Structure 1
């Protein structure tokens, strides 16, 4: 069984320019992701996937591979299904794990446990989720509570937000769904894997980056946010 870590790294971004190269603790976000995947020790290959050649030397310096996808797959109009499909056709494997560099508070242990969970449960797609055990509304209507009574938050069913910090797909199922015109992202038997709530913090703006900077050592150097 071949398990590949794919780290997407688009050069363009609308709010934070070249965000994959933005420094966090003096190290580019893309490098944090690469090192996290290497430290996890669960991947047969680690590949940076970008339309821009400048990520090639970075990948090489960190001892991993580089896949340069077509330039059009790096535009704002390209979907994740498009570039994942192109990647899988060029890099055959049993499973691919997309590890986002813009979710730097995902821990190495969570990457390792996520991969183990997908292999053990034998699902086709595994989604990372953040559990939120608070009253939630959708279109101003209750999702996990009722207006007829007040429930203590600890007694509520958690609402599970897909974090996309790490996602796993069985390659054959993903490609078959794409080729049939279906939605490949959620195709087949699905599972969810809870990650710490900070793993759902995604870097889109300079403010997001500064928040991640403030929380980095707490999350990665002995802090814990699970169950808070």
Structure 2
């Protein structure tokens, strides 16, 4: 039963320049994903898929493999994560290396830990799932969401929920965009990251932060330091 961790990290980040190797506190942010994967001892191979020589060198420095650079067709803005994963799996298959399980860990996910990865794999096996990924519960029911109309007035998206108590509304969750742990053959054949036989690991607000802007980055560093201090 072979397992691979794939960390997709192309060089062309737009919103934060060189985001995947920008220092997060004291090391390049991609190092956190690599180290969590290695520390978990789950994987027979921890590799980084990149089109960028500098990212490749940093990845190797922190213990990942970069056996080849990503193809040009999967290095543009429209290439999907599943495209990148399929390319990696096919390249290893040509070398006679088949992986039963894959974990795609994003490079800007410093809150991922070895224990979260281990727990996710255990859930994947124990519950006979095809995929597991981390989610976070919305802090306020999305059924009470608001929108701004063309005349700059506010209204509810679902006004039928106006008189329903928030505690009586069903909880909703969102994908944290940190990683996906899955059965390789099933997800590749479905050509999507998760399917109807997918489970989840629920994390806390303090255990995650989406990083799209410099403000996000600074807040993520603050949360990370706080999390480490309370542990």
TM-score normalised to structure 1 length: 0.84
Quick check: 1:20–1:101 contact (8 Å CA) kept in 2? yes
- Distance in 1 between residues matched to 2:74 and 2:88, nearest whole Å: 11
Quick check: 1:110–1:195 contact (8 Å CA) kept in 2? no
What's the counterpart of residue 175 of structure 2? 162
Q: Which secondary structure does the structure 2 equivalent of 1:54 belong to?
A: helix
What is the Cα deviation at residue 71 of structure 1?
A: 2.3
Residue 60 to residue 106, structure 1, CA distance change in 2 (3 Å): closer
- Distance in 2 between residues matched to 1:95 and 1:218, nearest whole Å: 33
Q: Which secondary structure does the structure 2 equivalent of 1:37 belong to?
A: helix
What is the Cα deviation at residue 41 of structure 1?
A: 2.2
What's the counterpart of residue 44 of structure 1? 44
Bigger Cα Rg = 2
Q: Which runs of 5+ in 2 are unaligned?
A: 93-97, 148-155
Q: Deviations over 1:131-190 (max 9, x none)?
A: 1252213674459x93223244xx653211011211112111122223xxxxx2233522
The question of 1:114 aligning with 2:127 is answered: no
What's the counterpart of residue 53 of structure 2? 53
2:161 aligns with one of 146, 156, 161: 146
Residue 221 to residue 194, structure 1, CA distance change in 2 (3 Å): same
What's the counterpart of residue 184 of structure 2? 171
**RMSD between aligned residues:** 2.3
Q: Which runs of 5+ in 1 are unaligned?
A: 179-183, 224-228
Deviates more, 1:192-201 or 1:39-48: 192-201
Task: Give aligned pairs, total.
Answer: 215
TM-score normalised to structure 2 length: 0.83
- Distance in 2 between residues matched to 1:186 and 1:136, nearest whole Å: 22
